[in-house]
Amino acid sequence: MKLFSKVMSGAMLVVSMGVAGVASAKTCDLSIEGSDAMQFNKKELDASGCTEVKLTLKHAGKLPKAAMGHNWVLSAAADKAKIVDSATKAGPAKDYAPTAAGVIAHTKLLAGGESETITFKTDKMKKGGDYAFFCTFPGHVALMSGKLKF
Ligand SMILES: [Cu+2]
């Protein structure tokens, strides 16, 4: 009887884990704005438990891209510096695109009044990992940087 109940509880555990795996597929809508004052309106975004993220970046300002362009780039915090460096090297002709390895997702560079929505999967991200989002327009990362909880 004891063995039977052990087998049964083991089987039920497997079944409930399978159900949880299906039930946990979740797309999350996140949004953030950049401003003419070189700021994001959020310091933290929460993607905990999201298998897919739909992120909208809105440039709420009015300035042109060449003066105050903003993008939204996501990476492990440890990769941030080299990604910002790669974007600076890409230069204005390539809209300071973040080209280094380690970019998990990114929008294009937006001018005032523009917005873009991107969708990305989180399957390669680690729960509890240290993830950063930032803008790679030269000089912006110091102010335009935040944490993505996962
Ligand atoms: Cu910016």
Distance 38 CA to ligand 1 centre (A): 6
Distance 141 CA to ligand 1 centre (A): 7
Q: How many domains does the chain have?
A: 1
Would residue 3 count as lying in a domain? no
Residue 78 sits in which domain range? 26-149
Residue 56 to residues 64, 81, 89, 90, Cα–Cα distance (Å): 19, 23, 26, 24
| Tens digits of residue pLDDT in 1-58 | 455 555 445 444 444 444 545 557 899 999 999 999 999 999 999 999 999 999 999 9
**Strands of 52-59's sheet in order across:** 27-34, 52-59, 115-121
Would residue 12 count as lying in a domain? no
Distance 5 CA to ligand 1 centre (A): 59
Instruction: Say if pTM beats, i.e. exceeds, 0.75.
Output: yes
Contact yes or no for 47/113 (Cβ under 8 A): no
CATH code of the domain in which 139 resides:
2.60.40.420
Distance 110 CA to ligand 1 centre (A): 9
Give the separation between CA 68 and CA 140, rounded to whole angstroms: 9
